[in-house]
């Protein structure tokens, strides 16, 4: 019982430990220790432990930033999206399906833009989303994308939203759990077009 | 499926059947031919198993859906009097014949084992008892899910 | 040298429930390590005796899981009886261990 | 094979409105997993490493030819019973919080004369090799089976460790902006693919972070400890790699174990 109380006290906030430093101080100390204790492996270099302003804000506000902070940062993220120069947003949904299924890339043994097996990076989409009807082993962290285009219509505006969200989810929802695949150079422009087609091509199984 | 096997293997009874029926260590030599067989049928043939009768007195306990194909727990109990051996075939594995378990007088015809199962498959069991063969099967589905990392 | 087995034999009435864990890689000959195929390496035969008399034997393939686990039951056993188990693999390596049957707990 | 999960249920799913069908069958599948998990736990190959670990603990080894029987896991030199359930904890001799494996490695260095660099070179199990500290921590953990997790929070450094561990748990970084909490701090029964994601920040489900570790992993048939599991989390987060037995890992373990305080430890387990 006593332990439980202590755990609750400690868990309630960083109160006990950080009275000297304040919550921000605890965060800074944790980051300092991580930077001391971690070593780079291959493409996973130490700069990955340096938070950008989005990551820092989401940590600072426990993923629930005040609206004005969110709006300002989202605007900057949106402005950083590189739209395809040819103006075309839809690639090949069949390729998109493969990218959505694959979950590898960007980790210790992977290469820039390639997995350790030599494939192009995956989008890990099914890890978190329901997408095509044939795959029943989908995750539920993200919303269901089944019938994405059919439900929203196939307009260019929706295409832009889909492509933009894949490129930089934080431009639309600052502390989304979804990676910024274009912003982080995890996926190529063609791969993001293929994924957009998976969601937006009327012929894609997603929209049947 | 077993029906077709029955007709094919029928002729081999006399030649090979006797080998299996000695009570203990009947499989005096590890049966290379049976273990290298690519199908359940060929494995049975090499072991001299023929004409197995379907039997509800063989109880197979195995997961309907296995969490990890690397370790699939299988329990086999034979309620057939005079059982001397239990043989296990994982039909869709590259080499279906997985093993034979022999019981001397006193041993209860039961075995628990854990096997690698490559894909969803019937697990077929053949029991030798009183000079005859009996069989039962249970389907096991194999899943390997998880994150991409 | 092969690592020891862990054997448990517990009486339930006059039946000894024998459970054994074996430390063995059970290599299928399919697995690759650092680009090279790891050769077949698996237990082929197992025998078990009760007070020196053989009661159980098995011939197995490489499809048995790594670090094999088996259980079987011996009727007519008494507390204090000796259960001995021996395995032999395809490289000729072998290991024997024994345990004493324990009464109902 | 990877996404063959529940493929056998495809027929059922096609026949029914598939969201509801999926929810039902998912529960059934999990019930089946649970049932056979219990079968597998009954005879867990982890016991082979308990035996080996006990031998390693008691045998004089290393350049100093000493056993680990003078190693202080927090309850006094040589006391193993119950020690694992009460770690991580603060150790004055090193002035930091240490988890069980970090402490064992510390003892191997100070008492037996091993070098950290040698122990840290390949600290995790492969198909053909289980490092000694992994066997030893399996033995030590088994001596807390059936006890309640009770990592102390009385020393200021232990409370600080909890607070720092919480920050590490929530730290978002790397190219994909992931934190431990991205998967394991979510409310509601979320999944990755079909894997349920227990919320380690919630005391009701936090036990899942530390239960069944050290664990025999069916994939590959190897024995792994929490040091390995947490290190692998950072790999999946696409972050760099934490040093073996580093303070960062002990801090994170403090956060996870304190959240599980009061829950019963079932001993070394079996993992998918």
Is residue B107 predicted with pLDDT exceeding 90? no
Domain B5-142: assigned CATH number: 2.60.40.2470
- The confidence score (pLDDT) of residue C29 equals 92
Touching check for A101 and chain D: CB below 8 Å?
Answer: yes
Using CA atoms, how far apart are residues B36 and C44, in angstroms rounded to an integer? Answer: 13
- The confidence score (pLDDT) of residue D127 equals 85
Is residue C35 predicted with pLDDT exceeding 90? no
Residue of B nearest to C60 (CA): B99
Domain ranges of chain A: 2-65, 93-207
- The confidence score (pLDDT) of residue A15 equals 41
**Confidence class for position D28, pLDDT limits 50, 70, 90:** confident
Is residue B119 predicted with pLDDT exceeding 60? yes
Cα dihedral sign for B54, B59, B60, B64?
A: positive
Of D8, D29, D272, the CB nearest to B68: D272
D214, A207 contact by CB (below 8 A): no
Average pLDDT, chain B: 83
Average pLDDT, chain A: 91
Give the orientation angle of helix D226-236 with respect to helix D100-110, to 10 degrees.
120
Q: What is the ipTM of this complex?
A: 0.85
Is residue B10 predicted with pLDDT exceeding 80? no
Domain A93-207: assigned CATH number: 1.10.760.10
Question: What are the chain A neighbours of D210 within 8 Å (beta carbons)?
Answer: none
Cα dihedral sign for D123, D127, D132, D135?
A: positive
Domain ranges of chain D: 26-271
Tell me the pairing of strands B107-115 and B121-129: unpaired
Residues composing chain D:
272
Q: Which residues of C touch B (CB under 8 A)?
A: 15, 19, 28, 44-45, 47, 50, 53-66, 68-76
DSSP string covering chain A, please? -HHHHHHHHHHH-SHHHHTTT-HHHHHHHHHHHHHHHEE-BTTB-GGGGS--HHHHHHHHTTT---HHHHHHHHHHHHHT----TT------HHHHHHHHH----SSTT-BTTB-TTSPBPP--HHHH---STT------SSPP-TTHHHHH-S-HHHHHHHHHHHH-GGGTSTT-SS--TTTTT-S-HHHHHHHHHHHH-TTSGGG-
Q: Which D residues in the span 95-114 are in contact with C, Cβ-Cβ below 8 Å?
A: none
Question: What are the chain D neighbours of B114 within 8 Å (beta carbons)?
Answer: 40
Residue D267 CA to its chain's centroid (Å): 11
Q: Could you read off the pLDDT of A7-34 as tens digits, one per residue? A: 444 444 444 444 445 668 999 999 999 9
Q: Which D residues in the span 190-249 are in contact with A, Cβ-Cβ below 8 Å?
A: 190-195, 197, 203, 234-236, 238-243, 246-249
Q: What is the DSSP letter of D214?
A: S
- The confidence score (pLDDT) of residue D17 equals 34
CATH of C6-100, one of 3.50.50.60, 1.20.1250.20, 1.20.120.140, 2.60.40.10: 2.60.40.10
B106 vs A186 pLDDT, higher one: A186
| Closest among D182, D238, D6 to B148, alpha carbons compared | D238
- Contact yes or no, C with A (3+ CB pairs under 8 Å): no
Neighbours of B32 (CB within 10 A): 10
Q: Which residues of D are catalytic?
A: 233
Of C23, C25, C33, the CB nearest to D48: C23
- The confidence score (pLDDT) of residue D30 equals 82
Is residue A2 predicted with pLDDT exceeding 60? no
Domain ranges of chain C: 6-100
- The confidence score (pLDDT) of residue D33 equals 87
Is residue B13 predicted with pLDDT exceeding 70? no
Of A10, A33, A54, the CB nearest to D258: A10
- The confidence score (pLDDT) of residue D29 equals 80
Is residue D195 predicted with pLDDT exceeding 90? no
Q: Could you read off the pLDDT of D40-50 as tens digits, one per residue? A: 998 999 999 99
Query: Cα distance from D123 to chain C (closest Cα, Å)?
Result: 18
CB contact under 8 Å between B113 and C69, yes or no, is yes
CB contact under 8 Å between D235 and A139, yes or no, is no
Using CA atoms, how far apart are residues A102 and D145, in angstroms rounded to an integer? Answer: 39
| Closest among D38, D34, D141, D155 to D83, alpha carbons compared | D141
**For chain B, what percent of residues have pLDDT higher than 90?**
71
Question: What are the chain D neighbours of C43 within 8 Å (beta carbons)?
Answer: none
Touching check for A102 and chain D: CB below 8 Å?
Answer: no
B91, B67 contact by CB (below 8 A): no
CB contact under 8 Å between C33 and D48, yes or no, is no
Q: 3-class SS at D252?
A: helix
Hey, of B61, B66, B68, B147, which one would you mutate to test binding to chain D, going by the most D CBs within 10 A of its CB?
A: B68
CB contact under 8 Å between C71 and D43, yes or no, is yes
**Confidence class for position B7, pLDDT limits 50, 70, 90:** very low
Q: Could you read off the pLDDT of B78-105 as tens digits, one per residue? A: 999 999 999 999 999 999 999 999 999 7
Question: What are the chain C neighbours of D44 within 8 Å (beta carbons)?
Answer: 21
Tokens of D139: 């033995």
Q: Could you read off the pLDDT of A44-88 as tens digits, one per residue? A: 999 999 999 999 999 999 999 999 999 999 999 999 999 999 999
- The confidence score (pLDDT) of residue D116 equals 98
Neighbours of D204 (CB within 10 A): 9
Query: Cα distance from C6 to chain D (closest Cα, Å)?
Result: 7
Touching check for C16 and chain D: CB below 8 Å?
Answer: no
Tell me the average pLDDT across C74-101. Answer: 96
Q: Could you read off the pLDDT of A93-121 as tens digits, one per residue? A: 999 999 999 999 999 999 999 999 999 99
Domain D26-271: assigned CATH number: 1.10.760.10
Using CA atoms, how far apart are residues D99 and C78, in angstroms rounded to an integer? Answer: 45
Touching check for B67 and chain D: CB below 8 Å?
Answer: yes
Tokens of B107: 């041993």
**For chain A, what percent of residues have pLDDT higher than 70?**
89
Q: 3-class SS at C37?
A: strand
**Confidence class for position D261, pLDDT limits 50, 70, 90:** very high
Query: Cα distance from A159 to chain D (closest Cα, Å)?
Result: 23
Least confident of D30-39, D55-64, D166-175, D252-261: D30-39
**Confidence class for position B5, pLDDT limits 50, 70, 90:** very low
Domain ranges of chain B: 5-142
Tokens of C96: 């024997």
Query: Cα distance from B137 to chain A (closest Cα, Å)?
Result: 27
């Amino acid at each position: 019982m006593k332990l439980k109380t202590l755990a609750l006290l400690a868990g309630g906030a960083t109160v006990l430990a950080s009275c000297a430093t304040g919550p921000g101080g605890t965060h800074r100390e944790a980051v300092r220790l991580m930077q001391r204790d971690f070593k780079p492996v291959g493409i996973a270099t130490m700069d990955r432990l340096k938070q950008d302003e989005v990551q820092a804000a989401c940590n600072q506000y426990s993923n629930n930033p005040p609206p004005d902070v969110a709006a300002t940062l989202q605007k900057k993220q949106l402005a950083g999206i590189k739209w395809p120069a040819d103006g075309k947003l839809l690639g090949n949904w069949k390729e998109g399906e493969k990218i959505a299924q694959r979950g590898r890339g960007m980790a210790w043994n992977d290469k820039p833009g390639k997995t350790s097996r030599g494939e192009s990076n995956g989008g890990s989409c099914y890890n978190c989303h329901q997408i095509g009807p044939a795959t029943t082993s989908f995750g539920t962290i993200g919303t269901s994308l089944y019938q994405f285009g059919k439900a929203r219509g196939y307009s260019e505006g929706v295409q832009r939203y889909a492509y933009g969200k894949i490129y930089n989810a934080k431009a639309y929802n600052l502390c989304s759990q979804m990676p910024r695949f274009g912003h982080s150079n995890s996926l190529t422009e063609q791969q993001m077009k293929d994924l957009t087609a998976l969601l937006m091509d009327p012929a894609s199984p997603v929209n049947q | 499926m077993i029906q077709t096997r029955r007709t094919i293997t029928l002729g081999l009874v006399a030649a090979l059947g006797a080998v299996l029926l000695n009570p203990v260590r009947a499989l005096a030599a590890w049966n290379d031919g049976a273990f290298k067989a690519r199908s359940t049928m060929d494995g049975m043939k090499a072991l001299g198993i023929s004409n197995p009768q379907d039997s509800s007195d063989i109880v197979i306990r195995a997961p309907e859906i296995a969490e990890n194909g690397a370790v699939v727990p299988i329990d086999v109990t034979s309620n057939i009097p005079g059982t001397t051996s239990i043989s296990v075939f994982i039909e869709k594995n590259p080499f279906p014949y997985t093993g034979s378990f022999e019981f001397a007088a006193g041993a209860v015809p039961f075995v628990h084992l854990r096997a690698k199962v490559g894909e969803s498959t019937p697990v077929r069991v053949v029991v030798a008892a009183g000079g005859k063969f009996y069989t039962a099967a249970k389907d096991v589905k194999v899943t390997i899910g998880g994150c991409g990392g | 040298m092969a690592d020891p087995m862990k054997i448990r034999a517990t009486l339930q009435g006059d039946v000894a429930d024998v459970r054994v864990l074996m430390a063995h890689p059970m290599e299928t000959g399919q697995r690759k390590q650092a680009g090279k195929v790891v050769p077949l390496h698996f237990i082929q035969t197992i025998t078990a005796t009760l007070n020196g008399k053989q009661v159980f034997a098995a011939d197995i393939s490489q499809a048995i899981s790594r670090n094999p686990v088996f259980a079987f039951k011996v009727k007519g056993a008494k507390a204090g009886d000796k259960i001995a188990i021996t395995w032999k693999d395809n490289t000729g390596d072998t290991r024997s261990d024994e345990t004493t049957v324990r009464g109902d707990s | 094979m990877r996404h063959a999960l529940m493929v056998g249920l495809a027929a059922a799913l096609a026949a029914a409105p598939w969201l509801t069908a999926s929810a039902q069958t998912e529960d059934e599948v999990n019930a089946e997993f649970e049932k056979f998990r219990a079968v597998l736990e009954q005879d867990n190959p982890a016991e082979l490493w308990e035996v080996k670990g006990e031998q390693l603990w008691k045998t004089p080894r290393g350049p100093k030819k000493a056993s680990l029987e003078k190693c202080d896991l927090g309850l006094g030199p040589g006391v193993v019973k119950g020690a694992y359930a009460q770690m991580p904890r603060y150790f004055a001799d090193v002035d930091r919080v240490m988890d069980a494996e970090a402490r064992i490695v510390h003892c191997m260095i100070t008492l037996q004369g091993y070098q950290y660099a040698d122990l840290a070179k390949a600290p995790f199990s492969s198909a053909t090799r289980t490092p000694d500290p992994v066997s030893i921590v399996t033995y030590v953990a088994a001596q807390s089976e059936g006890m309640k997790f009770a990592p102390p929070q009385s020393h200021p450094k232990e409370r600080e460790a909890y607070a720092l561990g919480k920050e590490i748990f929530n730290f978002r970084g790397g190219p994909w902006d992931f934190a431990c909490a991205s998967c394991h701090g979510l409310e509601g029964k979320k999944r990755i693919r079909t894997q349920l994601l227990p919320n380690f920040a919630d005391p009701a489900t936090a036990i899942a972070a530390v239960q069944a570790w050290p664990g025999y992993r069916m994939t590959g048939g190897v024995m792994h400890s929490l040091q390995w599991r947490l290190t692998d989390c950072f790999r999946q987060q696409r972050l760099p790699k934490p040093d073996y037995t580093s303070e960062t890992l002990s801090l994170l373990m403090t956060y996870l174990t304190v959240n599980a305080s009061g829950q019963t430890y079932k001993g070394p387990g079996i993992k998918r």
